[in-house]
Structure 1
């Protein structure tokens, strides 16, 4: 009879360890997903890092705007939506599909148009959004100038 009791203790310990591992895994995943999307410029490539990250070649950038409002979000296609955090591909009014990297429900928003995508980005801090916009705008102007001179 003591053997059955010991087996239950071992099974209980295994279940506890598995539960702790699952909770830790979810906590790490949630931390990784909710981090603000880092935008970097590497040569002629604009990279948006993190979950649902993409790389955009400078030649693909058609326009970059800073706006206080975006069209209404109708639903997600392949995305994460958690309160004001929106990452991934969404359907929107006026835009059939857009890649969103939103960390705040308020503007300003950076809108990057390419031949294939509309990408909308913002950060919790409006000043950071504006600073990143200036970097992207300078990048797109610089690459546009080099194309015209060729």
Structure 2
């Protein structure tokens, strides 16, 4: 949690500093597409108010993220998604709107380019979250078991070294490669006292099945506690 809060605070400070420097100090060189224009074009952009509006967009983004930050300290499960969703939609939408203050000859290409970037970025993020929120399950085969979905795989029963049913999930300290979502964790995470582990976890749904194989440590559970218990019984029986 504190790591994610640190990232949010860093982004808020970054947008605020950049916005303040552009609006108050007139450091227009901080705007990438401003520098790519000739001196005459830069003057035209300044006359249109383009760089000042970019700075104000950054300040407004910082303010909006700061107002949403307290959500992280509430029981609302989707606070992170709301905050980063606001940042992406507000920034990308703002850049599309600011195309109207571009140099006349470049307005249409700027509008098209900004729109394509926004559609592509939002589409990619929505697809990523959709994939991340897809549920997983443990499937039993004759000589192996499979965990379905992203980051899943198949393991032979002969590889299993240990199976435990835990009432509490150990502290997860670091995400290495995966999805750390509001209600679910999938992928490779550092777990206190266990090291690098594969997680397939519905948060707050006890118990948790812990599996040690020759090469992996796996934590998995179902939304349904009875199903998790069934998985434990199945694997315990298979590894005797």
How many pairs does the alignment contain? 138
The separation in 2 between residues aligned to 1:92 and 1:17, in whole angstroms, is 40
Aligned mate of 2:165, from 66, 75, 78? 66
CA change 1:118–1:22 in 2 (3 A) is same
Unaligned runs of 5+ in 1: 145-150
Residue from 98, 101, 108 that aligns with 1:9? 108
Distance 2:155 2:110 in 1: 50
TM-score of the pair, normalised by structure 2:
0.50
Q: In 2, Cα distance between the equivalents of 1:131 and 1:104?
A: 19
Instruction: Name whichever structure is richer in strand by fraction.
Output: 1
1:26-45 to structure 2, matched below 5 A, reads 26-45=125-144
Specify which structure has the higher proportion of helix: 2
SS of the equivalent of 1:77 reads strand
1:94–1:14 Cα change, 3 Å: closer
Q: 1:102 aligned to 198, 201, 204, which one?
A: 201
- After TM superposition, where is structure 1 displaced by more than 3 Å over at least 4 residues in a row? 4-7, 131-138
- Cα separation, partners in 2 of 1:74 and 1:10, compared to 1, 3 Å: closer
Deviations 1:95-125 (A, max 9, x none): 1222111122331111112122221101233
Give unpaired runs (5+ residues) of structure 2. Answer: 1-102
Cα 1:23/1:108, change in 2 over 3 Å: same
- Give the C-alpha shift of residue 33 in structure 1: 1.0
Aligned 8 A contact 2:168 2:208 in 1: yes
Cα RMSD of the aligned pairs, angstroms, is 2.4
Contact 2:164 2:209 in 1 (8 A): yes
Output the CA distance in 1 between the equivalents of 2:218 and 2:194. Answer: 11
1:35 & 1:133 partners in 2: Cα distance? 22
Q: What is the rounded CA distance, in whole Å, between the counterparts of 1:67 and 1:115 in structure 2?
A: 20
| Aligned mate of 2:213, from 114, 122, 125 | 114
How big is the shift at 1:129? 2.3
Alignment check: 8 A CA contact 1:46 1:56 kept: yes
Aligned to 1:23: 122
TM-score by length of 1: 0.74
